[in-house]
Amino acid sequence: MSEGLPASAASTFTDKPAVLSLRGVGKTFQMGEVAVEVLRDITLDIRDGEFLVMVGPSGSGKSTILNILGGMDQPTVGQVAYLDQDLTTASNAELNQYRREGVGFVFQFYNLVPTLTAFENVLVSTEIARDPLDVDDVLGKVGLADRKHHFPSQLSGGEQQRVAIARALAKNPRLLLCDEPTGALDFETGKKVLRLLVDVNREMGKTVLVITHNVAIAAVADRVVHLRSGEIVQLEENDTPVPPEEVVW
């Protein structure tokens, strides 16, 4: 791993177009009478097809960045663009369209609809997508073909997270945004989920962004962004990503 340069440093993916780019992004929350600045001057390009991991301790602004990247929140200052589309000036409807087609989310606590089966939880996303994948195929790919009629309460944590990944994948987005995808899982299950994400990136060519507080996970990434107190403190390239099975935490 080489010591990276801040922000727009050169990378092995520099020849690829930026799927998402942030320019001078800042976010301030008003908590009563106190203004809390959670992000400060973030400039970053996320390149097509890369596996990017963003690490940082609690309160470093990871989730806020993810929310902004996912079109769920707007920055207070700066610009965010998805391909040629400026997300900072996008209307609610445009942001919605972006969430619908551009990105897929994977959450730490899976966020499955408890009253829907695994199959139906995936269906939730394909029903509104323009060019979805076959739900059975996707469930097969995440290894849940035989568990598809189970409700979330009947699935293990790892299985639930795989359903969540299937749900994110099935609408065939360009980009997968994963918020602590292994955070709620045990070590072995976490590694399996990580393997799945790597496969999605390598085999399906999806851009994957994982945010985590777990530094060890950074080993599987093409690039790693280190966040602290709302700022990018380090951006490193990883020319030799490690297979998830070899990661230890």
Partner 1 sequence: MSVLNRKLLRDAMHAWGLLATISAIMALGIMCFIYMRSSYFNLLLAQNQYYAQGRMADFWVDLKKAPRGEFLELLDIPGVTEIQPRIQFAATVDLENVRKPLNGLVISLPDRRREIINDIVLRRGSYFTEERHNQVVVNDAFARARDIHPGDTVHLLLNNRRQELVVVGTAISCEFVYLLPPGGLAPDPQHFGVFYLKESFAEEVFDFDGAANQAVGRLAVQWRDQPDALLADIERTLEPHGVTNVTALKNQPSNRFISDEIQGLGTFSTIMPAIFLTVGALVLNVLMMRLVDQQRVVIGTLKALGYGNVEIFAHFLKLGLIVGLIGAGLGEVLGYFMATWVTAIYRRFYEFPALENYVYPGVYLTGFAISFTCALVGCVTGCRRAVKLRPADAMRTATPAKGGAIWLERIRWLWRQLSFGWRMALRGLFRNRRRTAVGLFSSMTGAALLMSGLMMMQAARYLIDFQYDYILRSDIDLTFKNEVGREALLEARHLPGVDHAEPLLAVSCTFIHGPYQRKGNVLGLQPQARLTVPRDIDGVALRVPETGLMMSRKLAELLHAEPGDLITMRPTRGLQKAVRVPLLKVSEEFLGMSVYADITYLSRLISEEFAVSGVQLEVTPEPDIQTAFYRELKRLPVVQAVNAREDVIHNLEETVLKVQDTFIGLLILFAGVIFFGSVLNASLINLAERRREVATLRVLGYTERQIGGFFLRESAVVNLCGTLLGLPLGYFLAYLVSVSYDTEMFRFPVVSPPFVWVVTVVTGVGFGLLAHLVVERQIRRMNWLEALQVKE
Instruction: Report the residue number, 91 or 240, with the smaller CB distance to partner 1.
Output: 91
Rounded CA gap, 97 and 82, in Å? 12
The SS3 assignment for 6 reads: coil
Cα–Cα distance measured from residue 118 to residue 145, given in angstroms and rounded to the nearest whole number: 10
Is 105 near partner 1 (CB under 8 A)? Answer: yes
Q: Cα 34 vs. chain centroid, distance in angstroms?
A: 30
Rule CB under 8 A: choose which of 23, 171, 191, 226 binds partner 1.
171
Who's near 113: CB < 8 A, 6+ residues apart? Answer: 120, 121, 124, 152
Give yes or no for residue 107 binding partner 1 (CB under 8 A).
yes
Candidate residues 35, 72, 83, 233; the one interacting with partner 1 per rule CB under 8 A = 72
Within 10 A of 108 (CB to CB), how many other CB atoms are there?
A: 18
Stretch that binds partner 1, among 45-53, 68-76, 82-90, 234-242 (CB under 8 A): 68-76
**Smallest gap, in angstroms, from Cβ of residue 105 to partner 1?**
5
133 lies in the binding site for partner 1 (CB under 8 A): no
Beta carbon nearer to partner 1, 169 or 235:
169
- Count of beta carbons in the 10 Å neighbourhood of residue 245: 12
| Dist CA 117 CA 152 (whole Å) | 7
Could you say which of 12, 14, 89, 96 contacts partner 1 (CB under 8 A)?
96
Q: Which of 48, 120, 199, 231 binds partner 1 (CB under 8 A)?
A: 120
The region of 13-21, 38-46, 125-133, 200-208 touching partner 1 under the rule CB under 8 A is 125-133
Distance CA 177, CA 189 (A): 19
- Asked whether position 93 contacts partner 1 by CB under 8 A, the answer is yes
By the rule CB under 8 A, 73 interacts with partner 1: yes
Q: Residues of 156-193 as b/e, b for ≥16 C-beta within 10 angstroms?
A: ebbbbbbbbbbbbbbbbbbbbbbbbbbbbbeeebbbbb
Q: CA separation (Å) from 124 to 91, 117, 131, 135, 152?
A: 23, 10, 14, 10, 14
- Closest contact distance (angstroms) between CB of 188 and partner 1 is 21
The CB-of-128 to partner 1 minimum distance in angstroms stands at 6
Provide the CA 111 distance to its chain's centre, in angstroms. Answer: 14
- With CB under 8 A as the contact rule, the residue among 5, 36, 83, 128 that binds partner 1 is 128
Minimum separation from the CB atom of position 92 to partner 1 (A): 7
Question: Taking CB under 8 A as the rule, does residue 7 contact partner 1?
Answer: no
Residues that bind partner 1 (CB under 8 A): 63-64, 67, 70, 72-73, 92-93, 96-101, 105, 107, 109, 111-116, 120, 123-125, 127-129, 167, 171
